[in-house]
Amino acid sequence: MKSKTNFLPQEGEARPSRCPDNSAFKQQRLPAWKPQLNIVTVLSSFFLIGTFCLTVGVCLILSANSVREIQIDYSDKCSDCSKLRENSSNWNKECHCSVNFTIKEDILDDVFMYYGLQNFYQNHRRYVISRSDAQLLGRNVNIQRSYCAPFTTYRNGTPMAPCGAIANSMFNDTIDLFYNHKSSVIQVPLLRTGNSWWTDKNVKFRNPESYNLSSAFAGTARPPYWQKPVYMLDEEDERNNGYVNDDFIIWMRVSAFATFRNLYRRVRRVRHFADGLPAGNYTFRISYNFPVTRFKGRKHVILSTVVWSGGSNPFLGIAYVVSGTAATLMGFVITAIHLKLRKKKTYFQRQ
């Protein structure tokens, strides 16, 4: 057994120093700015911050209130289709319904169409991770090692493309808009592409490399709840198919709340709709495919414009107003405390 004394420094040896190096950083000699706070500086900061937040908040609220928006709930109006869809054996039967509404004033500028879902929770952890990002990049990967289970392969071993619970539950109602102009019915032209982010189309989602999409997805099958394979999502535009389909990309961006809306279409500004949507009678014709009754959900169609601050969401403006009000009130409280203490100090100095 070795003696512990062998590890001690011998006579004549220098003991290692534990002092920090003699540098400006380690000896805390770097130049520093230490503000000397006084009552004028503190009160000025509170009142300036309060005024700024209140001004920005009021501007944001006024901007959000200027958005023109029409929201239509078609859950009950398409009740017959809803009952049909609740039975899974009717998945291949088509069901259509119509919803009439009136626009009293012209909706000028760009008009966006959204679909909204209520009571649909996308923030569950197992749902959020149920996807394969490598597969969505067009790579040939083994999805059995991904988090897509149980939506990975069929019983015969055929892999699903795309895999996962998010893709399988994709919103698949088809919504068309018609304008009842005098004695004729005009279909409002809607844009299917250009609704997703550039980074999604060019970075996060890519199709497998092949001379055509059908051969690229050979040996795979659509998810169980889909009616079409992934390479036939848009039969009118071949470039909007596969993993780079706009509707698919937008759906794969899950929401943090149970009530949300996703961009569906944009009104193409041509002919009668060059300036937007004119006032008059309109009709939504819906191909009902997405059931919501079992989870007590609701479905909406929203027509909305946008402004420089975004859509009709006043939350950010309200947050600024609340912050500005709190800062201003705190400034008045500090002012009152300062005046009270100064009076006491003056009184004692006179004594």
Q: What is the mean pLDDT of each run of 10 residues along the chain (351 residues)?
A: 53 71 87 84 94 96 92 92 84 89 92 96 94 92 88 92 95 95 91 92 91 89 92 90 95 94 95 92 95 91 92 91 97 92 69 60
Q: What is the pLDDT of residue 206?
A: 93
The count of domains in the chain is 1
pTM of the model: 0.81
Q: What is the pLDDT of residue 298?
A: 94
Q: What is the pLDDT of residue 24?
A: 87
Residue 28 gets the label, from left (phi > 0), alpha (psi -120 to 50) or beta, of left
Does 333 map to a domain? no
Q: What is the pLDDT of residue 351?
A: 60
Determine the Cα–Cα distance for residues 127 and 131; give it in Å rounded to an integer.
8
Q: Hey, what are 80's tokens? A: 């017959």
Does 42 map to a domain? no
Q: What is the pLDDT of residue 212?
A: 87
Determine the Cα–Cα distance for residues 61 and 320; give it in Å rounded to an integer.
10
| DSSP calls for 42-99 | HHHHHHHHHHHHHHHHHHHHHHHHT--EEEEE-TTTTHHHHHHHHSGGGTTS--EEEE
Does 21 map to a domain? no
Cis peptide before 20, with omega less than 30 degrees from 0? no
Determine the Cα–Cα distance for residues 68 and 299; give it in Å rounded to an integer.
20
Cis peptide before 35, with omega less than 30 degrees from 0? no
Element (H, E) at 100: strand 96-103
Does 235 map to a domain? yes
Q: What is the pLDDT of residue 37?
A: 83
Does 140 map to a domain? yes
Residues spanned by the domain of 223: 69-310
Does 343 map to a domain? no
| DSSP calls for 166-233 | HHHT----EEEEEEEETTEEEEPPEE-SS-S-HHIIIII--PPPSSSHHHHTTT-B--TT-SS-GGGS
Does 252 map to a domain? yes
Q: What is the pLDDT of residue 38?
A: 87
Does 289 map to a domain? yes
